[in-house]
Amino acid sequence: MNKLNVLYEDNQIIVVEKKPNVLSQSDITGDKDLLTLVKEYVKEKYNKPGNVYIGLVHRLDRPVGGIMVFARTSKAAKRLNEEIKNHKFNKTYVAVLDGILKKKTDELINYLYKDSKTGKSKVVDEHFEGAKLSKLTFEVVGYYKDKTIVKINLITGRHHQIRLQFKYLGYPLYGDQLYGSKNNEQIRLYAYKLSFNHPVRKEVLEFKLLPKWKEIEDETIIHRL
């Protein structure tokens, strides 16, 4: 396991990078997860006895990397959850799509349904029982060979939302093994920017960290992100 990359910490929150293929929290696999890693980091750094409180307020899919914030107090967790509920918690993603997408900007609106038996979601009609409204906006920031690089603002946070909405559009995410990619590459989806109000000080905090992908090495693309 790679050493924890801490972007920011104080007595209320800790902001870290989730590496691709690391779980956000524990599951039945028993594999190491980021929540546990953060607890271990805080326990060791501050020499805390007993259990350490770390609140999980949002998640990223296992294969997806990016920035995550964890709460260090229950008060911070409650306030961050309220921000998410009130759409004041902003996550911006960068993704690489298979194919050349000509439309430069757009809003995608679909209804998604998660199948608890398969662990996969699908696009359904709005009247389908259990369907959830899913929205995102995107902007094309560049191209790499036969692929399109987009930045994405997530308006709702549904299960596998970005992956499904772009697949439904006809431009699946490069490296997405679950939803039809025909290669063995790491999925090109990364939560590279996160902004929210500090749960106590109320000032707006913004963090940015770009993935090390060959598709976004061009300075023009980096500037647009």
- The model's pLDDT over 194-211, given as tens digits with 9 standing for 90+, comes to 999 999 998 999 999 999
Amino acid 1: pLDDT: 40
- Selection from 71, 67, 9, 14 nearest residue 193 by Cα: 67
189-197 and 65-71 as β-strands: parallel, antiparallel, unpaired?
A: parallel
Strand partners, 91: 194
- Selection from 220, 203, 224, 213 nearest residue 152 by Cα: 224
Q: Could you give the 3-state DSSP secondary structure of residue 162?
A: helix
Amino acid 145: pLDDT: 96
Amino acid 28: pLDDT: 84
Q: Can you tell me the distance from the alpha carbon of 8 to that of 99, in angstroms, rounded to the nearest whole number?
A: 37
Q: Can you tell me the distance from the alpha carbon of 158 to that of 95, in angstroms, rounded to the nearest whole number?
A: 17
Residue for token digits 């902001």? Answer: 15
Do 42 and 167 form a contact (C-beta atoms < 8 A)?
Answer: no
Amino acid 119: pLDDT: 87
Q: Can you tell me the distance from the alpha carbon of 26 to that of 70, in angstroms, rounded to the nearest whole number?
A: 15
Task: Give yes or no for residue 123 having a pLDDT over 80.
Answer: yes
Do 61 and 46 form a contact (C-beta atoms < 8 A)?
Answer: no
Task: Give yes or no for residue 2 having a pLDDT over 60.
Answer: no
Task: Give yes or no for residue 182 having a pLDDT over 80.
Answer: no
Half-sphere exposure of residue 73: CA atoms within 13 angstroms, side-chain side: 10
- For 6-224, CATH number out of 3.30.2350.10, 3.30.1050.10, 3.40.30.10, 3.40.50.2020 equals 3.30.2350.10
Alpha-carbon distances, residue 97 vs 46, 92, 114, 146, 177 (angstroms): 42, 16, 23, 9, 13
- Name the more confident of 183 and 182: 183
Amino acid 167: pLDDT: 96
Contacts 24+ apart (CB under 8 A), 122-128: 122/164, 123/164, 123/165, 123/168
Q: Can you tell me the distance from the alpha carbon of 69 to that of 15, in angstroms, rounded to the nearest whole number?
A: 4
Q: Which amino acid is at 144?
A: Y
**Domain ranges, ordered by start, for the chain:** 6-224
- How many Cβ atoms sit within 10 Å of the Cβ of residue 158? 20
Task: Give yes or no for residue 115 having a pLDDT over 70.
Answer: yes
List the single range of 26-30, 64-68, 179-183 with lowest mean pLDDT.
179-183
Task: Give yes or no for residue 50 having a pLDDT over 80.
Answer: yes
Amino acid 25: pLDDT: 94
Mean pLDDT of 75-79: 98
Q: Can you tell me the distance from the alpha carbon of 161 to that of 48, in angstroms, rounded to the nearest whole number?
A: 38
